[in-house]
Structure 1
Amino acid sequence: MKQRIKELVESRITEDGMFETGINGVRLFKVTDAIPCAPAVYEPAIIAILTGKKEAILDGEHYVYDNRQYMCCTVSLPVEAGTPTASPDEPLLGIYISLNTKVMTELAIEMETTSGAIKPPKGSSQPPSMSLANWDDAFSDALLRLLLLGEDKADVDILGDSRLRELYYAVLKGEAGISARTAFGVGNQIARSIEYLSQYIGKNVTIDELAALVGMSRAVFHRKFKQATRMSPIQFMKSMRLNRAAMKIAAGMNVSEAALAVGYVSSSQFSREFKRMYGQSPKQWSQSTALIENIV
């Protein structure tokens, strides 16, 4: 099945870039240039690699994955991402599938209603919000059926949502299922707090405000947040703001506008924290970084 999926994708991509399939949230991508890891923000998505390798770094932990595993990201996360080994002879080829949080929540709650509450492995903490999962038959079959819709508008309009739902269900039942069901099921407080934070990234959102939003004490919220993201809420907010600013600067926005857009009132504070995180001033960053838009 995986070989058939690869052939389908190769037949639809002739050059580098990110390409729409016509199915809502499903895109194909190809990269033939080595791109070092740079600041990015992962949104809730599945990334399935068919050839080559992809790398993401979350709070110092490296995730390198190829066609043996797919990446499942369940919340918005500040990461560094790149394709350091891509080349014309060994291109990165893959599929990016945005997760519809409403549908994922409906499925996760339905699964809990049917099979009972989530039961993480004994002794484990809440799983991270970014995980790798081996391709299993259910995932491969659902992905193939989704891509076989091709570009026929009638097929996509009539069957697209149901085939996406089938793929989501395969993810929830697979190795990334505990992580996904925790993020989207009944106990999804941390995911909701991150969604709120992402929505108001340019405002001064406090930890107490986030904790109150999900009905937790500050201490419990801090502990659960760090279990889910590997970062404290304060670290997470700073990384998210700086990563979004770095992406805006690399895309051509001037430094002052980028700082204001992510909630910094003081340009000097922004420059200090930016240099501390990336080893370059915002101005140096804008001169040295080439952003390949839409390659995730």
Structure 2
Amino acid sequence: MDKPVNLAECDDKDMLDSLCMQMATAIERWTVGKEDSSTAIPSLELFRRESPTQPSNCKIEPSLVIVVQGAKQLLVGNRSYAYDTSHFLINSLDIPGNSQALEASTDKPCLGLVFKLDLRIIAELIAEGSLPPPRERAPDGSSTLGTITPALLEPCNRLLALLDEPDTISVLAPLIEREIHFRLLRTDQAARLWQIASVGSMSHRVARAIDWLRVNYARPLRIEELATYVQMSTSNLHLHFRQLTSMSPLQYQKWLRLHEARSLMLNDRLDAGTAAFQVGYESASQFSREYSRLFGVPPKRDIEELRRQSTLLQS
């Protein structure tokens, strides 16, 4: 294992460069032959891209995304968020988006990590009162970019290093995870985290609406009931839901249904008609049209291609 970086011995740029190099070495080792890798730490995932890519459909969840080599971009609605070794990406809601690698090659792949945020930890840290409330207003949207600091990157490096000491993960990982949340609340994106974690805020209510839709995606959506559930007017729910997700509640439900149907066809080997009805569609032809619109090809062809790609990766 590489020697840990001594933050007292170098300035910020040197610290960041050293930490990124150290983390890139570790991530490259853990991701050989893979694009996306889960780890023994449930909150931590790693990624590797060996060439620039076109935007690909992805599911975003509350997370911190850090690139330690190369550059990536997230597209949400008509907004784009390009990030590299100088900027981190914060996602505060479960929403759809498109991800692409901007700078990557076989010799120097794009490498990084996804750290899943726990909004309960953020709320606890805020409630403790040791952090001053941010002065600036949080920007609109569910995703935002922040400036990487050594203080944030260093605990991420230590969390990554635990993968080489699996017997320590159960004890040390929760401590480091809490520190990462604390460090995030001291970055230039603290306002976004305060907003989403604050009970009663519009962002918190939209998050509750999203949670309800995720559980009840197969049920007919009655927007008045959803608005009552999150204690908002229907007009306010539509307005703030679209501001944060670039979608209406109905469009979000449709996205959930199509992704769940795709999973059922791929993993449970259901046919398109059965999967469509199971996720709440009443018309197989409408399901096929909307599936093709989202994924670019009809259901049967899409699943056949996904299985072909999976077979190639395993060979």
Q: Look up the equivalent residue of 2:190 and give its one-letter code.
A: G
**Does 1:58 find its partner at 2:71?**
no
Are residues 278 and 49 of structure 1, via their aligned partners in 2, closer, same or farther at CA, if it must alter by over 3 Å? Answer: same
- 1:25 equivalent among 43, 59, 66: 43
Match of 1:193 in 2: 209
In the other structure, the counterpart of 1:76 is: 94
Aligned with 2:180: secondary structure? helix
Structure 1's consecutive aligned runs of 4 or more residues displaced over 6 angstroms after TM superposition are 290-293
| CA shift for structure 1 position 179 | 2.0
Instruction: Give the superposition deviation at 1:37.
Output: 2.6
* Corresponding position: 1:164 with 2:182: no
Partner of 2:116: 98
Q: Provide, for residues 169-190 of structure 1, a one-character-per-residue CA deviation record: whole Å limited to 9, x for no partner.
A: 2223223322222222222111
1:201 counterpart SS class: coil
- Work out which structure has the larger RCO, using CA pairs closer than 8 Å and 6 or more positions apart in sequence: 1
2:192 corresponds to: 179
- Superposed CA deviations along residues 29-74 of structure 1, whole A, max 9, x for unmatched, are 3233555333321122222112233333212333332222222111
Comparing 70-79 with 253-262, greater Cα deviation is found at 253-262
Kindly provide the CA deviation profile for residues 148-171 of structure 1, in whole angstroms up to 9, marking residues without a partner as x. Answer: 334323432222101101101222
Name the CA distance, whole Å, in 1 between partners of 2:190 and 2:310: 31
* Alignment match, 2:281: 264
Q: Residue type of the partner of 1:238?
A: K
2: CA distance between counterparts of 1:198 and 1:105? 22
Whether contact under 8 Å (2:63, 2:90) holds in the other structure is yes
User: Percentage identity across aligned positions?
Assistant: 26
What SS does the corresponding residue of 1:5 show, helix, strand or coil? helix
Alpha-carbon displacement from aligned partner over 1:267-290 (angstroms, at most 9, x marks no partner): 111122233444433334334556
Q: Distance in 2 between matches of 1:100 and 1:274?
A: 32
Q: Map of 1:137-152 to 2, 5 A cutoff?
A: 137-152=150-165
With over 3 angstroms needed to count, the CA separation of the structure-2 counterparts of 1:52 and 1:255, relative to structure 1, is: farther
Q: Does 1:214 align with 2:244?
A: no
Aligned residues: 288
Query: Given residue 44 of structure 2, which amino acid in structure 1 is its aligned partner?
Result: V
Which one is further off, 161-170 or 29-38?
29-38
- The answer to whether the Cα contact below 8 Å between 2:288 and 2:299 also exists between their aligned partners in 1 is yes
CA–CA distance in 1 between the matches of 2:84 and 2:266? 27
The 5-angstrom pairing of residues 93-132 of structure 1 reads 93-110=111-128, 115-116=132-133, 119-121=135-137, 127-132=140-145
> Shift of residue 92 of structure 1?
2.3
Select between 232-241 and 163-172 the one with higher mean Cα deviation. Answer: 232-241
Q: Does the 8 Å CA contact 1:250/1:291 hold for their aligned counterparts?
A: no
Unaligned stretches of 5+ residues in structure 1? none
1:47 aligned partner, one-letter code: V
Structure with bigger gyration radius: 2
Aligned residue for 2:236, secondary structure, equals: helix
Picking from 43, 56, 62, the partner of 1:44 is: 62
Aligned to 2:221: 205
Residue of structure 1 in register with 2:241 after alignment? 225
Structure 2's unaligned 5+ residue stretches are 1-18
Q: What code does the residue aligned with 2:289 have? A: R
Q: State the TM-score, normalizing by the size of structure 2.
A: 0.78
Say which SS state the counterpart of residue 142 (structure 1) adopts. helix
Whole-Å separation in 2 of the counterparts to 1:100 and 1:91? 29
